Amino acid sequence: MLKKIILNLLLKSMKSLISFFLILLRNLHKHWILEIKYPKLYPHGLIKSLVPETILRNSCGLFIEKDVSIKNSNIHIGKHTYIGNHTLIDSCNYIGAFCSISSDVKIGMRNHPLNFISTSPVFYSRYRRWCKKSQYDESDIKTVRIDDDVLISANVIIINGVKIGRGAVIGAGAVVTGDIPPYAIAVGVPAKIIRYRFSDEQIHRIEKSKWWEKDDKLLKENREYALHPDLFIEKISS
């Protein structure tokens, strides 16, 4: 009897020891990927979260802070885009270049069907094991699109299917429920436009220049004119 108890105890402590080492190994591996592998693979940016490799391969100068979760590996993220701590990007397939997405932002949160007896996925999703086949078609879920040079401030929530136009600004804490036109500044719940960043004429010139597609070298050489958009456009277009 005593022998059996001792054996059981030994077995339990062995199991705890093994799981301790497995956790340690997993953390070391994560640390290795984040601190050693990513920065070496990716010298023109800074990556502090585990994100799909496809994003890293196809873009340059990305800054991705800690605890960022990007669920869609087919997403395109343009060059020099920044994503802050704890941001969650779910149903979104395009984020342009030169975007600044702040911390604690939530993008493309999926809806649950509202006409079932319950909104709980156990009644419609096969991943929750009650249903053998999904009862709700998630394949046609609309995704979010964020164009180039968009600023999304801290704690913003962007509902599924919304399009945010180039150069738009979303104020802190906003809930974006509809499309936001290019260069608009929108704030509040639900987000409403308070003004535009530039005049119609300037917007026309900026759009015509397509500065975000220009070579980094040219943009860097002319960075001293960035505070004067008209002059900047003139310089990079000449």
Residues that bind ligand COA (CB under 6 A): 84, 100, 102, 153-154, 169, 171-173, 185, 187-188, 194
Instruction: Compute the least distance from the CB of residue 100 to ligand COA, in Å.
Output: 5
Residue with tokens 């890293």: 56
Take residue 181 and report the two structure tokens written for it: 């036109």
Q: Smallest distance, Å, CB 199 to ligand COA?
A: 15
Q: 144-146 and 92-95 as β-strands: parallel, antiparallel, unpaired? A: parallel
Angle between helices 229-237 and 200-209 (to 10 degrees): 30
Question: Taking the complex as a whole, how short is the minimal distance between the CB of residue 162 and ligand COA, in angstroms?
Answer: 17
94 in Cβ contact with 145 (< 8 Å): yes
The minimum distance between CB 56 and ligand COA, in angstroms, equals 21
Q: How far is the CB of 226 from ligand COA (least distance, A)?
A: 17
Per the CB < 8 A criterion, the answer to whether 59 and 42 are in contact is no
Q: Which is nearer to ligand COA, 121 or 171 (CB)?
A: 171
Beta strands in 82-173 (DSSP E): 82-83, 88-89, 92-95, 100-101, 106-109, 144-146, 151-152, 157-159, 163-164, 169-170
- Sheet strands (E) in the chain: 46-47, 63-64, 69-70, 76-77, 82-83, 88-89, 92-95, 100-101, 106-109, 144-146, 151-152, 157-159, 163-164, 169-170, 175-176, 184-187, 192-196
Minimal CB distance to ligand COA: which residue? 171
- In the complex, what is the shortest distance from the CB of residue 20 to ligand COA, in angstroms, rounded to a whole number? 38
100 vs 111, beta carbon nearer ligand COA: 100
Q: How far is the CB of 96 from ligand COA (least distance, A)?
A: 16
Looking at the Cβ atoms of 87 and 143, the one nearer to ligand COA is 87
CA distance 101 to 81: 8
Cβ nearer to ligand COA, comparing 77 with 124: 77
Nearer to ligand COA, 109 or 189 (CB): 189
- Edge to edge, the sheet with strand 163-164 lists 76-77, 92-95, 144-146, 163-164
Name the residue nearer to ligand COA (CB basis): 51 or 170. 170
Q: Closer to ligand COA at the Cβ: 121 or 186? A: 186
Taking a C-beta distance cutoff of 8 angstroms, is the pair 196, 183 a contact? yes
